[in-house]
Amino acid sequence: MDAGFPEVRPRRLRGTKALRAMVAETALRPAELVLPVFVKEGLADPQPISSMPGVVQHTRDSVRKAAAQAAEAGVGGVIVFGIPADKDGVGSGADDPEGISQVAIADIRAEVGDDLVIMADLCLCEYTDHGHCGIVTEDGYVDNDATLERYASTAVAQARAGAHMVAPSGMMDGQVGAIRKALDGAGFRSLPICGYSAKYASAFYGPFREAAEGAPKFGDRATHQQDPANVLEALKEVGLDLAEGADMVMVKPALSYLDVIRRVADMVHVPVAAYQVSGEFAMIEAAAANGWLDRDKAIMETLTSIRRAGASVILSYWATEVSGWLA
């Protein structure tokens, strides 16, 4: 050290928990968290999801209670995934005014009003008998433009049910533009769209496919979801969604794509959401159950890293629980 300069010791600001909190560069707020909820038509009681400890397929009654608990904890929003009793090749239940997503959205809106942002996941995989995200041609390929028509109709149904925001997750080309046009034409010009703009063909969706009962019966989704090797492609997708009218963009999954979150956050001037997906949840819960790590610390560390990377909204199955810790 040169003479005349004080000795620099960064550890001086790490001495106590209160001191560390005072100088923390990144902080989580309950209002930034969104709770994903699964609602299944015809259930008498909530059904546990074996690969996601503590998470259930809700009944209409239990999802109202979960939403009320989330609102009381200060959670910012919920995102609704519906599971119909009957499925077909075109996902008819997705835009049915009496379909499970629409009635669940209406139930939640009646329960919490505007105290939570009610986001509606918008895709067809939970509603089709083949499990793909759109209309499938005879040769097994997802027809992009035919699927856009279904997305547009579904968005209007979700808006009429009371959703505060729609979130198209199918990764079809032009989906945001088609949905924006449909919403505007139906009188919902003020309803925002959160585009799943950078959604990767990830191995970390496994438990979700049990929860939402939307696993493809053949093939995979690599023709429309993004290659995990690519980041420039993600930035292109984000730019296209913004040009089509997206009000928020999402990166999914979160933990394996922190670099993508950072690149997107540096590029855009809208909120960036990140989805801490089912596989990320399941890994921590399984490791904690085996005593291999400290569950609560691991949860907070991962959420903080997602926030630090640049996400201003985080979808997490721990949203209500963590909001209680932050209170």
Catalytic residue numbers read 199, 252
Q: Within 13 A of 97's CA, how many CA atoms are on the CB side?
A: 1
Q: Answer yes or no: are the C-beta atoms of 131 and 91 closer than 8 Å.
A: no
* DSSP codes, 111-145: HHTTSSEEEEEE-STTTBSS--SSPBPTTS-B-HH
Question: CA torsion, points 191, 197, 203, 209, in degrees to nearest 10?
Answer: 20
Structure tokens at 278: 């089912």
C-alpha closest to that of 200 among 132, 254, 158, 239: 254
**Where does 141-229 have alpha helices with state H?**
144-161, 175-185, 206-212
β-bridge partners, 166: 120, 193
Q: Coil, strand or helix: which one is 80?
A: strand
